[in-house]
A and B are shown apart, each in its own frame.
Chain A
Amino acid sequence: MNERSQKQISSEKKIGIRSLYLGLLLGGLLVFFLLNLMLGSVDIPFKEIITILSGGKTNHFAWQKIIINIRIPRALTAILAGSALSVGGLQMQTFFRNPLAGPSVLGITSGASLGVAIVMLAAGTITSIFAIQQLSALGSWIIIGAASLGSAAVLLLILLISLKVRDNVTLLIIGLMIGNITIAMVSIWQYFSQPEQIRDYLIWTFGSLGGVPLNRLWILAIVVLVGGIIAIGMSKSLNGLLLGENYARSMGISVSSSRIWIIVSTSLLAGSVTAFCGPIGFVGIAVPHLTRSLLGTNDHRVLIPGTFLMGAILMLACDIVAQVPGSSTTLPISAITSLVGSPVVIWVIIKRKNLQASFS
């Protein structure tokens, strides 16, 4: 008890440094946002970009279209997807008190994929789903709903099992197995599909940040915002849960309602991003570790905004790599997040050595 109160005191001292770090992250976000707008297949001079952004007149009609219709929506999608997956992952790691937890590891992402697949089945063919997307904003809600329900179903199942199984490692393995079951269900469905449909689904699984038009971006933004607000509201409960359920109860936190809210928040965050961008792996695990290591705290009141910013920056950076600036080729975003993210996490783990210490 004494040790803990000391920790809390020392954390108060560091508040100044932490707000400095958060400020730096915010600055970093701005820099990467601008970089993301600058780099792409077509070379557009920086001056023109500033002119276009400030609403000035430009003689290059095509450039204006590229910035406004392609690069801005893509950069905003990257920010939303990166921060949503990261905050979702942070909540999962605290919730399960396990450093390996994250939306993709626990099958929440594959649950979302299953949800999308089921809607596609109900609509007849996989092409229909894209047609629904194309038809109206309402269609997007259907997919978001399906993906969120799919991820919520998997999370609820894991939660139910967690009532019986107290051991975190066991629970994590069960989570992995449930993820495998959902993947198997999707693959059975694929087996009975046409080659073109399989190819369509395969392209969806590569992930894409460039497929959300401006007029639908607000849907993603609202869902992520709601999920994020719930997460911020759960900061105190998450702090308590990190020290164990009994400790949380002693702090006057209602554990059962916290669990539900955390599940709702994570499902919304991971489900909506998966629906719009396809399954993007890894960010959810990596970013919370990076943020903890940078900020040196377990206080979720600082961690959540920090993770939010860090996730957005990492995703913008990955997207810049995926665009392969100066070439007409692009790479799938979900491959890049893993390629870039894995070495970073290995480096952090080796450097810190005491990863488990954050969770016990």
Chain B
Amino acid sequence: MISRRYFYPFLNLYTCFWTVIFSFGTVACQSSSHEQQSHQTTKSISFPEQVHAEYAKGFRITYHKNYKLLEVLNPFQNQADTLRYALIPRDLIGNVNVRDARPIPIPIQSMIATSTTHVGVAEMLNASDIIKGMVGAKYVYNSNIRQKLDQGEIASFPMGAFNKEEALNMQPDLLMISGGQASQFDNYKILIDAGINVLVNSEWLETTPLGKAEWVKVLGALLNREKLANQKFSAVAKRYKKLKSSVNDIQQKPLVITNMPYKGAWFVPGGGSYNATILRDAGADYPWSESKDTGGMRKDFEVVYRIGLKADVWINPGDAKTKEDLLAKDSRFKDFKPFKTGEIYNNNRRMSPSGGNDFWESGVVHPERILADLIKIFHPDVIPDHQFYYYRKVK
């Protein structure tokens, strides 16, 4: 039994109430569940290839007779109600009952993706054909998906409030959402009640690059492609660790600033965040490495400005492509040392005409490519042959 943490003590009372009600229900249903078990013994499925989370903290997959149990441990930031999904082979659905878990028929054949990161994950498992609906079509980079969107083979959902009617009409096997869209959870709750399987993909809450990429295993389990997911991910992890160790002993670390201010506030990644981790792994000196924050931190413009004056490198300056773009935003940027030395890099090398950025798509499952780019920026001598994949110099 998975323990559930609630925010309000009296919610526990509420849970107790339902537990009592349900236990009466269970007693009443016991005779019928015996029948089901005998029925199940006639057909039993085991899963030879399995995936397990090594780096990711947000999910857990366990394998049982006739079903896989997927638990999403941190669907939304600090709130901690574990979501449980029972992945049940398609022909056994209805015969296998798992308590407190939402049954999902596997392998899933159709899915609505609500973020381009979901495209990146599907593409890695050669499964982009299961995407039948897409939210935010203009931000997609993958040309295959873009073409299908243009031809109407994939339904395009507008941004903003999620269109529940279209989703219900489509009846997909899975609606994949990101935990960050919690404000819309009521919308999704209605869809869940109406029989749509909504999976919270909270990969964005992982604080390590490999943890984030490991979410490919979740889709692997949903597609019965565990073998492929393991292969692909371990190749990524191996390369990532090799690259990381190649800059481990370097003492000379360049001072780096990131991002771009907005209306006087400069959001920088907290020291415990994904972004800070990958900067550290690439051998950079990140000014806020010490902070424990796992999200973004608001800094006043002048706080970062002071560091910018002496920093060696500036990465990810908003959507800027040229130095003129930067000056158009704020002429004070010309005082920055990276501006004078030209050491400004942005992650927008691979962009679709409508504004989709592959960094946010395939970059999620390919942190080793991002790391290689960053090492090339911070320590060009370490991997001289590497060609930039996501990054470009802002000239």
A and B from one assembly?
Answer: yes
Q: Judging by beta carbons under 8 Å apart, are A138 and B186 in contact?
A: no
Can you list, as one digit per residue, whether each of B279-296 has a CB less than 8 Å from chain A (1) or not (0)?
000000000000000011
Q: Judging by beta carbons under 8 Å apart, are A195 and B267 in contact?
A: yes
Pairs across A and B, CB under 8 Å, 20 listed: A41-B165, A61-B171, A62-B171, A69-B168, A125-B78, A126-B183, A128-B76, A131-B76, A132-B7, A132-B8, A135-B6, A136-B11, A142-B8, A195-B296, A201-B183, A210-B187, A213-B186, A213-B190, A213-B193, A215-B193
CB of A139 closer than 8 Å to a CB of B: yes
Contacts of B183 in A (CB 8 A): 126-127, 130, 199-201, 203-204
Which of A42, A123, A195, A199 meets B166, CB within 8 Å? A42
In the complex, chain A residues 116-174 whose Cβ is within 8 Å of any chain B Cβ: 123-128, 130-136, 138-139, 142
Contacts of B171 in A (CB 8 A): 61-62
The A/B interface has a contact count, at CB < 8 Å, of 139
CB A327 to nearest CB in B, in angstroms, measures 9
Q: How far is the CA of A71 from the CA of B155 in the complex (A)?
A: 21
Q: Judging by beta carbons under 8 Å apart, are B185 and A65 in contact?
A: no
CB B378 to nearest CB in A, in angstroms, measures 27
Contacts of B193 in A (CB 8 A): 69, 213-215
Q: How far is the CA of A208 from the CA of B182 in the complex (A)?
A: 15
Given A70-B190, A210-B187, answer yes or no on A330-B79 (Cβ-Cβ < 8 Å).
no
CB A222 to nearest CB in B, in angstroms, measures 18
CB B12 to nearest CB in A, in angstroms, measures 10
CB of A66 closer than 8 Å to a CB of B: yes
CB B22 to nearest CB in A, in angstroms, measures 14
In the complex, chain A residues 171-224 whose Cβ is within 8 Å of any chain B Cβ: 191-192, 194-196, 199-201, 203-204, 206, 208, 210-215
Task: Name B residues whose Cβ lies closer than 8 Å to a Cβ of A.
Answer: 6-8, 10-11, 14, 76-79, 81, 155-158, 160-161, 163-166, 168-171, 179-180, 182-187, 189-191, 193-195, 267, 295-296, 298
Closest residue of chain B to A276 (Cβ to Cβ) is B186
CB of A329 closer than 8 Å to a CB of B: yes
Main secondary structure of the interface of A (DSSP, over half): helix
Q: Judging by beta carbons under 8 Å apart, are A65 and B7 in contact?
A: no
CB A282 to nearest CB in B, in angstroms, measures 20
Closest residue of chain B to A142 (Cβ to Cβ) is B8
Rank and list the top 8 A-B pairs by shortest CB-CB distance, nearest first: A211-B186, A200-B183, A69-B194, A127-B182, A131-B79, A41-B165, A127-B76, A65-B194
CB B261 to nearest CB in A, in angstroms, measures 13
CB B268 to nearest CB in A, in angstroms, measures 12
Q: Judging by beta carbons under 8 Å apart, are A329 and B158 in contact?
A: yes
Q: Judging by beta carbons under 8 Å apart, are B165 and A213 in contact?
A: no
Q: Judging by beta carbons under 8 Å apart, are A328 and B158 in contact?
A: yes
CB B377 to nearest CB in A, in angstroms, measures 25
Which of A70, A134, A210, A329 meets B185, CB within 8 Å? A134
Q: Judging by beta carbons under 8 Å apart, are A42 and B190 in contact?
A: no
Contacts of A196 in B (CB 8 A): 180, 295
Q: How far is the CA of A43 from the CA of B244 in the complex (A)?
A: 55
Given A127-B182, A128-B7, answer yes or no on A328-B163 (Cβ-Cβ < 8 Å).
yes
Contacts of A212 in B (CB 8 A): 186
Which of B10, B166, B180 meets A41, CB within 8 Å? B166
Q: Judging by beta carbons under 8 Å apart, are B11 and A73 in contact?
A: no
Contacts of B156 in A (CB 8 A): 328
Given A66-B168, A135-B6, answer yes or no on A330-B182 (Cβ-Cβ < 8 Å).
no
Q: How far is the CA of A138 from the CA of B267 in the complex (A)?
A: 36
Q: How far is the CA of A210 from the CA of B189 in the complex (A)?
A: 11
Contacts of B185 in A (CB 8 A): 130-131, 133-134
Can you list, as one digit per residue, whether each of A62-79 has a CB less than 8 Å from chain B (1) or not (0)?
110110111101000000
Q: Judging by beta carbons under 8 Å apart, are B163 and A211 in contact?
A: no
Q: How far is the CA of A191 from the CA of B295 in the complex (A)?
A: 15
Can you list, as one digit per residue, whether each of A318-339 has a CB less than 8 Å from chain B (1) or not (0)?
0000000000111010000000
Closest residue of chain A to B156 (Cβ to Cβ) is A328
A69, A71, A195, A215: residue with the most chain B Cβ atoms closer than 10 Å: A69
Closest residue of chain A to B262 (Cβ to Cβ) is A195
Q: How far is the CA of A61 from the CA of B157 in the complex (A)?
A: 21
Q: How far is the CA of A210 from the CA of B193 in the complex (A)?
A: 14
A63, A128, A212: residue with the most chain B Cβ atoms closer than 10 Å: A128
In the complex, chain A residues 53-91 whose Cβ is within 8 Å of any chain B Cβ: 61-63, 65-66, 68-71, 73
CB B153 to nearest CB in A, in angstroms, measures 16
CB B392 to nearest CB in A, in angstroms, measures 25
Q: Judging by beta carbons under 8 Å apart, are B161 and A210 in contact?
A: yes
Q: Judging by beta carbons under 8 Å apart, are B169 and A42 in contact?
A: yes
CB B203 to nearest CB in A, in angstroms, measures 14
Contacts of B195 in A (CB 8 A): 65
CB B188 to nearest CB in A, in angstroms, measures 9
Q: How far is the CA of A208 from the CA of B162 in the complex (A)?
A: 11
In the complex, chain A residues 2-61 whose Cβ is within 8 Å of any chain B Cβ: 40-42, 61
